[in-house]
Structure formats: C-alpha cells, structure tokens
Structure 1
Amino acid sequence: MSDPSKQSVIRTYDRYAPIYDSLFGPIQRAGCVRMAESVAALEPGHILEVGIGTGLTLSMYPERAKVNGIDISPVMLRQAQQRAAGLPSRDIRLAIMDAEQLEFDDNTFDCVAVPYVLSVTPNPDKLVAEIRRVCRPDGHIFIVNHFSGGKLWSLPERLLRSVADKIGFRSNFDYDHHILRHDWTVLSTTPVRLFGLYRLVIIRNG
C-alpha cells in the first residue's frame, strides 16, 4: 500500500467538503465530542486543533480559550470559517497549514487536538514531531484515530489498502508503532466508535 500524498489528501477533502458533515459526521461525532470534552475539562488557555475540517468542534471548546485551527484543505477551512463567524465572542483563528510543517513557535499551546488526522497525513512521524514541538512541556495531546484491529478486521483492512491513496486514508494503522513507541506519557486510551477501532488517546507531552 502506498502512503497518501499531500496532494491526494487535499484533493480528497476538497471534494468531500460539501457533504463531509452528513457523510462522516455520524461516524466522527462521538470521538470529536469526547475529545472536546476532555480538552475542556483541563480549562486550557490556548488550544491548537490540527485538521479542523469544517469546524465541528469549535463550539465545544471553552469560551475563554484561544483556539487556533488549521487544515490543509481550503474548501474545508471555508466551512470552518463560517462556523467561527457564528461564534463572534470567541477568540478563534483559522489558517491553511500543513500539519507536518507547523508555522508556530515551540511550546505555544497548552493542548493540541488531532482528530482523525494521524492516519491520513503522508508522514505521521513528522506530524507527531511537530505537534510535540508546539505543545508546551507537560501540555496535553489528544488524538482520535482509527487503529488496526485484530483478526476480525484484518480482511476489511486488506481490502481497503488498494484504494487507500485515492480516499486519503491509511487503513492499516498500528497503535504500538504510532503511539507507544514515542517517549511521551500515555495517560489513557478509550474506545469511542465501531467496536474500539476508533480510540481517544490522551497524552502528556515531554
């Protein structure tokens, strides 16, 4: 299976944008809500969401928090900007940006939220390095993602590999390799959807 390229990811999500909420919202909402609630419980001052998409989580973050949201898809980001416009009292700043080359200084954010992004970025290790760089020491990183299941899911994952690049999705995504091997502290891992295939992972940086 080839990894998704940056251009294939942009094309895919630009194409999905008009129907993204109706197509993927029912699948992703549970994870986004759980993630946003977990972020809000910490009462952070400054939040970064990587892959803000259409802005589904914007209204769920604390009102007093400063929120930066980035996405690589201009069409998706335009929808997020419309949602942000409906929250005029919030400090929300949105930008087109490559998550593997973040345009923020080191140690900028109290929390970094990464919903459904890690398995669609071309280089997950590079994204991880970037979110750790911009998250302050002992800050928190929240990852919601698909992780490969056991024998029950091995056949569907194999079938998806042939079209993964076209849909911008890496079907075989190993939890141990992409989460446990890094020298950060995993605080919790909670299933959020589809028999545990999607999980919310809460991490302390540093």
Structure 2
Amino acid sequence: MTQSRARPRDHGATRAADRSQSEAPVSEAGVARTYDRLAPLYDTLFGQVLEPGRRRMAKAVRTLQPASLLEVGVGTGLALAGYPADCRIVGIDLSHDMLERARERAARLPQHDIAIEHMNAERMRFPDATFDCVTVPYVLSVTPRPAELVREIRRVCKPDGTIVVLNHFSGSKLWWLLERAVRSAAEHVGFRSDFRYDEQILSHDWQVLSAEPVNLFGLSKLVMLRNRSQASSNTTAAGSDR
C-alpha cells in the first residue's frame, strides 16, 4: 500500500522562523556524526543531567495512556522504560551507534512492545495519522530544519493527538550567557543555542495545553500540545472572522 506523503500547511509558521531554517548551523550528516561519536559517552554526559525532564515527560505520557507512541530522537533509549507497557512504541534516530544502544535497552524491556528504526525525522516513512502520541525530547534544537520536523511530527500524529516537546528555549538572562559561550561551537556539537519559544512553539497553530520548566534551573521546558486537525483549525479561523 502506498504511504501518504502529503504534508499539511502550517499556517502559523512565521517569516522569522522560516529565516532561521535557512540559517541553521547544523546539518543532517553533522548531527549523525556528532551523535555517533557521543554514543559511548552519552549516558554519562547527558543521562542524569537531563533525566528530570525525561521522567516528567514519561509521567505525562503514562497519564495519557496512548495506544501508540513515536519517540523522535530516541538516542540510547533512556526514556523507553518510563513509557506505558501496554503502548506500542516506535523510536527513531539518525545515529546508528545510538540506535544500537537503544535496541539493547529495548531488549531488556520484554514487557514493552518497542520497535527501533533508523530514520530521518524530517522525512519519515510512516503514513499520515499513525500515532496517538509523539514525543520529541531534546531534538528540536539539533535538527537542521525545525519547521520540517514540526510538519512531519504533525503529519504522523493523529488529529487531536498529543505532541510532547522537551527542549531548551532561550530568552532568560542565564540562557543569554550560555548562548554567548556555546554559539561558536554549535556546528560541532549539533546544538542550536538561540532557540526561541515564540518562534518554535507559539508560531504554529497547534494548541498549547501546558508548558512547565524542567531540569536544572528550569533551563528546559516540557510542552504539551494538541495536534489540532485541519478541520478544527479552519473552524476556529472562521469563528474568529465573525
């Protein structure tokens, strides 16, 4: 059966967000190489420091009890054990070395239904409206084209399904200092330091259900989003014109 590749227009995308895509300092190959190199050290470097956000994300998913879930950027599989055991889980990533470790973790969770696949999240092979829930932990700011990723996760998430974004967002005084410190190294570590909440979250026409600070000093946010269907978006727009 031919899979649908139609991509809905994201009417909320702003000119500033589009400009940020063309100026993105990272590339697909660069991200894959970076995380292949980091794979043996990733759990040590980023396991505990980012774990509070992962735990909160997994808890939110358990509350939702989705029948199917896609984790974009599954990495070494650190979040897998926290998801509901009765949920069909698919994890994707660009890094083969990270995926090897994710498969090892999945094998230690026989009570879970987990599939691990190598895939570019900006060009996913899944049909439209495949998943009840899509989680995106620490990925939006390292993908070369965030707007493409957003279009794809909205395409594969069911209408009125839930998208859970866990990421850093710039804007605070502390982030201003950190951005100045790491901006020049962003290309080498696959990290976009200047990443604004208004451009990357509020510019899209999904529904923001909640946003809460997580991790040390609240430097990350856990954002719960409803993937509003095209029909509901048009209804809202028509109602606002009356």
Sort the TM-score into its range (normalised by shorter chain): over 0.9
1:87 CA displacement:
1.3
Find the counterpart in structure 2 of residue 183 from structure 1.
205
Contact 2:24 2:144 in 1 (8 A): no
Find the counterpart in structure 2 of residue 167 from structure 1.
189
SS of match in other structure, 2:49: helix
Q: What amino acid sits opposite 1:109 in the alignment?
A: F
Give the distance between the partners of 1:87 and 1:193, measured in 2 at CA: 26
Aligned residue pair count: 206
- List structure 1 segments (4+ residues) > 3 angstroms apart after TM superposition: none
Contact 2:134 2:157 in 1 (8 A): yes
Find the counterpart in structure 2 of residue 108 from structure 1.
130
1:149 CA displacement:
2.8
Contact 2:51 2:215 in 1 (8 A): no
Contact 1:184 1:205 in 2 (8 A): yes
Q: What amino acid sits opposite 2:163 in the alignment?
A: I
Find the counterpart in structure 1 of residue 57 from structure 2.
35
Give the distance between the partners of 2:55 and 2:173, measured in 1 at CA: 29
Q: What amino acid sits opposite 1:125 in the alignment?
A: A
Matching residue within 55, 58, 71 for 1:49? 71
Q: Which moved more, 1:72-81 or 1:192-201?
A: 192-201
Q: What amino acid sits opposite 1:39 in the alignment?
A: V
SS of match in other structure, 1:121: coil
SS of match in other structure, 2:78: coil
Q: What amino acid sits opposite 1:138 in the alignment?
A: D
Give the distance between the partners of 1:68 and 1:2, measured in 2 at CA: 27
Asked if 1:64 is matched to 2:97, the reply is no
Q: How does 1:110-149 map to 2 (within 5 A)?
A: 110-149=132-171
Contact 1:70 1:97 in 2 (8 A): yes
| Greater per-residue strand proportion | 1
Q: What is the percentage of aligned positions where both structures have the same residue?
A: 57
Contact 1:63 1:90 in 2 (8 A): yes
Q: What amino acid sits opposite 1:174 in the alignment?
A: R
Contact 1:48 1:113 in 2 (8 A): yes
Contact 1:2 1:165 in 2 (8 A): no
Residue 134 and residue 161 in structure 1: after superposition, are their counterparts in 2 closer, same or farther (change >3 A)? same
Find the counterpart in structure 1 of residue 47 from structure 2.
25
Give the TM-score normalised by structure 1.
0.97
1:2 CA displacement:
5.0
Q: What amino acid sits opposite 1:183 in the alignment?
A: D
Give the distance between the partners of 2:48 and 2:122, measured in 1 at CA: 28
Larger Rg: 2
Residue 166 and residue 138 in structure 1: after superposition, are their counterparts in 2 closer, same or farther (change >3 A)? same
1:89 CA displacement:
2.7
Q: What amino acid sits opposite 1:107 in the alignment?
A: A
RMSD over aligned Cα atoms: 1.1
Q: What amino acid sits opposite 2:193 in the alignment?
A: S
Find the counterpart in structure 2 of residue 77 from structure 1.
99
Q: What amino acid sits opposite 1:141 in the alignment?
A: I
